[in-house]
Structure 1
Amino acid sequence: MKGQRMFFWFLSKPLILLRLKKAIVTIRSEINPILNRMIMRRNLLALILAIGGLNFAASAQTINSAKLDSFLNVLAANNKTMGSIAIAQNGKIVYQKAVGYADAGKQIAANTKTKYRIGSITKMFTGVIVMQLAEEGKLTVETTLDKFYPQMPNAGKITVAMMLSHRSGLHNFTNDPAYGGYMATPQTHEQLLSRMAAMAPDFEPGEKYAYCNTNFVLLGYIIEKITGKPYAEEIKERIVSKIGLADTYYGGKINVANSEALPYKYNGGWQEGPQTDMSIPAGAGAIESTPADLVKFADALFSGKLISNASLQKMMPVAESYGFAMGKSNLDDKIGYGHTGAIDAYRSILSYFPGDKVAVSYTANGGSISTEKIALDALRIYFNKPYALPVFAKPLALSSVDLDKYLGVYSSPGFPLKITFTKNNTTLMGTATGQAAIAFETTVKDVFTFEPAGIVIEFDTAKNQFTLKQNGNTTVFTKE
């Protein structure tokens, strides 16, 4: 019997295997949908967790918009600023606000689309185009100025790198006493070149750093010589159109109807100021823009959309505070890169913090507090750092007669400039030799301030003296 059963087993094995295979197929057909649903649920759960993680990461930086609003409203309510701000992270704007007027006379309020003259932030645009031309092999940073403008002093020894980093030694033409006489009048390249070439250099090329607008006017002209196109077109083609800036261009006379802000100084009320003719600042300061466009420009620059990383590294300052067309700023433990701007009554700042991928820009058409301070204080609020909103003391009410004891010409041994104090109704005006007059404010007896430049003046009328305090330096002046 055993032998027969074994014989039957061997004879029946193919049939049994066939039945087993059919059973397995049936089981698989029933189990696979269950497994697939389990896998899909597991993937869905992972996706939900991932999205939740992203949402958590996105909301980890909670923006205190109400405090930011209050901060800017306090400044505006005390007539400390009129302007617009934008903060962006990872290339996306996370906060915007405008305060004050584009046209104070007609009570036309500024908004986030209002455009401002950005002054020397223009130098970053010029620097980017120079680096693009270098990448294209059309010049190098070691190319000397005599290849383009041999009539300039020391042209054979001044390199593009020296001009980009303000180490050329060329005299800053906007500091020349004659500048105020023609700043509002259109100038040709030839006229400006003649003026700049006639100025004696301040030091030997490469010897030291000294901020100089002449460098970047010349760089703008060099861009035109190399490309055969106006600087304005090169800005549009190489930067504006390339990254989609909607409100950035080479400026002209201010047109409020085109959402452009007029310049103002505050003297008991907002008073419209003069306008530089934009044929003059050129590659050093002729661009108009909005904070929204400026933070987009900064993000594009640092994300490799305009120049290579190698070129960007050359632009970024390392040991010093200024590199190629770019400066360095600090916010506590954070380091930012960008530029400030000042032209007429306009002030501006653009700063990008690579460690956080955060960009901030504040542009102003009037006010006494520096745009750099406003932007950095806004970032303190943005980063949830301890920050108390400013409280401003009421200005002292002085009569015109009260100011008489301060008036006169003052000098100090070793100080290169004399300072003359005059009055405009009830406002004390100070003028350093060859410079424009500035209006001082006072909240304490015998003490006057000019916040944009960090100037504090303390009078001792019994001694016919005043003490000038600025940037940690103290100088005593005596009335002549």
Structure 2
Amino acid sequence: MILPTLAKSQDIPTQADSLLTSYSRQGLFSGNVAILRKGKVLFSKSYGYSDAAAKRLNGLATQFRIGSITKTFTAALIMRLQERGKLSLEDKISKYLPDYRFGDSITVKNLLNHTSGIRSFTSIEKFQQEKMKMSGIKEIMGTFFDAPLLFSPGSNFQYSNSNYLLLGYIAEKVTQKSISNLLRDEITRPLGMKATGFDSDQRKSTHKALGHEATIRSDHDISPANNIGLLAGAGAMYSTIEDLMRWERAMYGNQILSDSSKEQMFQPYLKNYGLGWEVSKRIGRLSYSHSGSIDGFKSNIQLFPESETAIIFLSNYFNTPGPEICAALEAIAFNEPFHMPSEIKAVSLSQSQLNVYTGDYLLQNKLKMAIVLESGKLLSKIEGQPTVSLRPIGAHNFYVPMNGVYIRFGMTPDGSAVSLKVIDGKRELEFNRRK
């Protein structure tokens, strides 16, 4: 059950801490959160472990991978280069990528607002299979350079990591500097962001958070290495809660970008995406935001320019319900009703009790879910999808940490399982057990 709670404005720290403590206590959140208004920190606190196995706690200096929040920095670099006359948003990318066959139909601006039609390399099987052996951007380009465009440039929106990989490449080409040095010289050093940069699997730091995720072995496994440096301008950065506060403040001054550049950047195009930022209006409140999702980490930065309010969310637990938590934090920040999570308490069931649920279940006689018992754990297996572990939380009720859904079994009076429902928020899918 979830219960509506009304936060008083003076209780923002109390309400935010209560919310995050509830998620953290249940193993659903580990990380750092801050709420700011006009540069004043209303709330900032750390939860959980930067290394769960070593019981090393997160702190305000902990460095988290921020995934696609990187795109806000890459976009700012491109805007700065335009201000200096190094490039133009209207340039055809053939100017910088003469060997790319679609370069004459795609502009730098198409890359920035995801209207290029270029397929995202992270969705291409070849990249996923070979990424740990790759060593540079040219190899990644090879996974999508020969692929047809998904649509005519400018006619549609499709979020693509390839766009921001190419923007980083273009920035390097026009400056003859690496993107990591560009970031340092153009943004992080001027803003005093000393704990922000491009990450690598080999980087050593006592403040570096390890990524964690739910697997069939454990609810908090260490995420495997992913050769993060390959993501470059699309998603390779790390930062801290305090450095991202400095980044938020930079959006209101002219230290990094002129007013005209920011006006361009925060102009929504297709699907409410600007240039490196999502631009939306909900219940009359203007918002600039970007989320990040990368192995072991979830993140979100959300600015509300009309009141200069900001929410920064960093987590080193991939399976955290980030959108749900951030929606509640927004409500808290603006003194609106929000939802506290019901506590998910695991219960212990014997092998014989778990065995009652095993069998094949069908959705509309098409999709088959096999419920099996292996090594004392109840597992769900669907062909083509990862095997997930079911955590018992009550009579015939289970929680799935790997994807945040609930499973409820339908039982006959004699105690046989005849169906199961997969419950994801308000959406329910019912599977019937094969006889």
TM-score tier by shorter-chain length is 0.7 to 0.9
| Count of residue pairs the alignment pairs up | 418
Q: Which residue of 1 aligns with 2:279?
A: 328
Q: CA deviation at 1:88?
A: 2.1
Amino acid at match of 2:291: T
1:308 corresponds, among 251, 258, 263, to 258
Q: CA deviation at 1:234?
A: 0.6
Structure 2 vs 1, CA of residues 352 and 191 (structure 1 numbering), >3 Å: closer, same or farther? same
Aligned pair 1:226/2:174, yes or no?
yes
Q: CA deviation at 1:109?
A: 0.6
Structure 2 vs 1, CA of residues 349 and 225 (structure 1 numbering), >3 Å: closer, same or farther? same
Q: CA deviation at 1:273?
A: 1.4
Q: Which residue of 2 aligns with 1:381?
A: 332
Secondary structure in structure 1 of the residue aligned to 2:33: strand
1:280 corresponds, among 220, 230, 242, to 230
Secondary structure in structure 2 of the residue aligned to 1:295: helix
1:102 corresponds, among 50, 71, 79, to 50
- C-alpha distance in structure 2 between counterparts of 1:202 and 1:326, whole Å: 22
Higher deviation after alignment, 84-93 or 337-346: 84-93
Contact kept, 8 Å, 2:361 with 2:431, in 1: the verdict is: no
Alignment gaps of 5+ in structure 2: 1-7
How large is the Cα RMSD of the aligned pairs? 3.6
Higher deviation after alignment, 103-112 or 326-335: 326-335
Aligned pair 1:87/2:39, yes or no?
no
Q: Which residue of 1 aligns with 2:5?
A: none
Secondary structure in structure 2 of the residue aligned to 1:302: coil
- C-alpha distance in structure 2 between counterparts of 1:142 and 1:469, whole Å: 47
CA radius of gyration, larger in: 1
Aligned pair 1:371/2:322, yes or no?
yes
- C-alpha distance in structure 2 between counterparts of 1:325 and 1:421, whole Å: 42
- C-alpha distance in structure 2 between counterparts of 1:215 and 1:283, whole Å: 9
Higher deviation after alignment, 302-311 or 73-82: 302-311
Amino acid at match of 1:195: T
Amino acid at match of 2:176: G
Higher RCO structure, 1 or 2 (CA under 8 Å, sep 6+): 2
Q: Which residue of 1 aligns with 2:10?
A: 62
Structure 2 vs 1, CA of residues 411 and 104 (structure 1 numbering), >3 Å: closer, same or farther? same
Q: Which residue of 2 aligns with 1:211?
A: 159
Amino acid at match of 2:68: S
Please list the CA deviations of residues 131-175 of structure 1 after superposition, one character each: whole Å capped at 9, or x if unmatched. 111122222222122222244452221111111111111111111
Whichever structure has more helix as a proportion of its residues is 1
Please list the CA deviations of residues 374-404 of structure 1 after superposition, one character each: whole Å capped at 9, or x if unmatched. 2332232233333453322324545677379
Higher deviation after alignment, 436-445 or 462-471: 462-471
Amino acid at match of 2:242: A
- C-alpha distance in structure 2 between counterparts of 1:236 and 1:127, whole Å: 15
2:141 corresponds, among 153, 178, 193, to 193
Secondary structure in structure 2 of the residue aligned to 1:298: helix
Q: Which residue of 1 aligns with 2:3?
A: none
Higher deviation after alignment, 348-357 or 445-454: 445-454
Structure 2 vs 1, CA of residues 400 and 256 (structure 1 numbering), >3 Å: closer, same or farther? farther
Q: Which residue of 2 aligns with 1:271?
A: 221
Structure 2 vs 1, CA of residues 74 and 240 (structure 1 numbering), >3 Å: closer, same or farther? same
- Residue identity (%): 25
Structure 2 vs 1, CA of residues 116 and 255 (structure 1 numbering), >3 Å: closer, same or farther? same
Contact kept, 8 Å, 1:273 with 1:345, in 2: the verdict is: yes
Matches within 5 A, 1:133-282: 133-152=81-100, 154-253=102-201, 257-266=205-214, 269-282=219-232
Contact kept, 8 Å, 2:201 with 2:229, in 1: the verdict is: no
- C-alpha distance in structure 1 between counterparts of 2:36 and 2:56, whole Å: 27
Amino acid at match of 2:114: H
Contact kept, 8 Å, 1:120 with 1:341, in 2: the verdict is: yes
Q: Which residue of 1 aligns with 2:242?
A: 292
Q: Which residue of 1 aligns with 2:311?
A: 360
- C-alpha distance in structure 2 between counterparts of 1:450 and 1:466, whole Å: 13
Structure 2 vs 1, CA of residues 367 and 227 (structure 1 numbering), >3 Å: closer, same or farther? closer
Alignment gaps of 5+ in structure 1: 1-59
Aligned pair 1:337/2:288, yes or no?
yes
Q: Which residue of 2 aligns with 1:43?
A: none
- C-alpha distance in structure 2 between counterparts of 1:374 and 1:132, whole Å: 34
- C-alpha distance in structure 1 between counterparts of 2:172 and 2:102, whole Å: 22
- C-alpha distance in structure 1 between counterparts of 2:69 and 2:405, whole Å: 23
- C-alpha distance in structure 1 between counterparts of 2:207 and 2:65, whole Å: 12
Q: Which residue of 1 aligns with 2:300?
A: 349
Please list the CA deviations of residues 174-232 of structure 1 after superposition, one character each: whole Å capped at 9, or x if unmatched. 11223332333442122111122133332222231111111111111111111111110
- C-alpha distance in structure 2 between counterparts of 1:422 and 1:317, whole Å: 51
